[in-house]
Amino acid sequence: MANRHRDSLVRLLSLAIVSFIGIVPFSALADDPSIDEVLSRYARYGADVWARNPSAKLTGEGQACISCHTSLPYALVEPILPGNYAAYDDLIANISNRVLTWADNTPWYSERKLEGMAKHVGAPPDVLKGTLSGPGSRGVESVFNAVILGMRDAYAGVDAREDTSRAFRNMWAEQLKSGVAVGRWDWIQANLLPWEVTDSDIWGASLACVAAGMYPELSPQADVQLLQDSLKQASASDEVSLHVKSAILWCDAELGGQLLDRYVAANIATDLLELQHEDGGWALRELGPWANWEGSDADCCAQRENRSDAYATGFVTLTLTRSQPLISTEQTEQLNNAVAWIDRQLANPYPAEPRNNRMNSGEGGLPEFRHNLYTNAGHMWAYIARTAHKNQRAPWATN
């Protein structure tokens, strides 16, 4: 009974932690807008919603913490959207400040902040302790900071700026140098599929690997070797989800195939392509041991069939687009079908009727977003994949 009570409180708090991207009324858009226009409105509105989330602001000390489901994909997509958006500058300024004051600021999930989050929703002060942790959030933040700032500079085609260099130093300092997760980072385990579950630290390590590939001069060889050894081992494990192996394959592609044995890499690509649906998309549930996943109230599809979704399709398409040397002529057509699926989704990502019309009512009236987290994160990754496929190169890459 006590466990059920605790689980219900954790689910309640999870909603406060992961309140996320909202829905822009379709009528607010111009007639026949381009995919770029639609996606920019959709992404920027979501970033604004997360920026005013009370629990996220408490965690981030007045500025919303960087979430795997909203802030991270938004920060990676904004530099390739048309126009400029002031909220992105605010997000980068906050990250830069956290990076430059790393030794003095407190982790996202310090005990004091966890107690504050519990109080915010009227729960016992200790309910989140042990579920979320300061050390775990420190590892996540260090990786996300390096990835976001590294991507920003790579998009611009410039040498790493001071905050980027510091972010990399912070990241490598947080890397685990011993133990079962050697080469990786402490990671949040908050029952949020697929970013905060058992093998999510390997997903995060794969993102760090992508960042290291962009700026090798900021990545000590000994630390990189620990990371790469860990990813190689994970790529051969039956206990690691195909979602995570897709991330490892993505890094291998960014490194020009220098991470994985070509046979191993080709097998991962084939395994991914074999799970593609006839409509061209992928389903997240089929990329891991999650067929019976119950998850939390914030889960993407606890009671839904395994149909193609934006997150799985976007992330896998990005991986395969960057891994094209591994793909046969026949498989290239499958990749084209995936991009066609993405085009259809990005052309009209909005449901027919908004769940809540109070789109601009301030912190007291945030709309209901619980069932859109994966869709929204997916559209960001899908747009990046589409851009890479369209240009036959990633916006951050030289190859």
CATH code of residue 184: 1.50.10
Residue 39 or residue 169, greater confidence: 169
What is the predicted pLDDT for the residue at 32? 52
| C-alpha to C-alpha distances, 7 to 183, 324, 399, nearest whole angstrom | 32, 44, 47
Cα separation, 47 vs 31, in Å, equals 24
Structural domains in the chain (count): 1
- Look at residue 110 and tell me if it is in a domain: yes
Cα separation, 126 vs 333, in Å, equals 53
- Look at residue 367 and tell me if it is in a domain: yes
Average pLDDT over residues 282-288: 90
- Look at residue 323 and tell me if it is in a domain: yes
80: domain range?
2-391
Average pLDDT for the chain: 84
Contact indicator for 109, 136 with CB cutoff of 8 Å? yes
Query: Within the chain, where are the H helices?
Result: 2-17, 35-51, 54-59, 71-77, 86-100, 111-120, 134-156, 162-174, 200-214, 221-235, 242-254, 262-274, 310-322, 329-347, 373-391
In the structure, what pLDDT confidence band is assigned to residue 33 with cuts at 50, 70 and 90?
confident
Other CB atoms within 10 Å distance of the CB of residue 234:
23
- Look at residue 397 and tell me if it is in a domain: no
Point out the least confidently predicted range of 192-196, 254-258, 311-315.
Answer: 192-196
What is the predicted pLDDT for the residue at 287? 93
Cα separation, 388 vs 155, in Å, equals 12
pTM recorded for the entire structure: 0.88
Instruction: Answer yes or no: is pLDDT of 362 > 80.
Output: no
What is the predicted pLDDT for the residue at 392? 87
Phi, psi of 196 (to 5 degrees): -135, 50
pLDDT tens per residue, range 191-218? 788 998 899 999 999 999 999 999 999 9
What is the predicted pLDDT for the residue at 19? 37
Instruction: Answer yes or no: is pLDDT of 134 > 90.
Output: no
- Look at residue 399 and tell me if it is in a domain: no
- Look at residue 15 and tell me if it is in a domain: yes
Other CB atoms within 10 Å distance of the CB of residue 338:
29
- Look at residue 264 and tell me if it is in a domain: yes
Average pLDDT over residues 268-292: 91
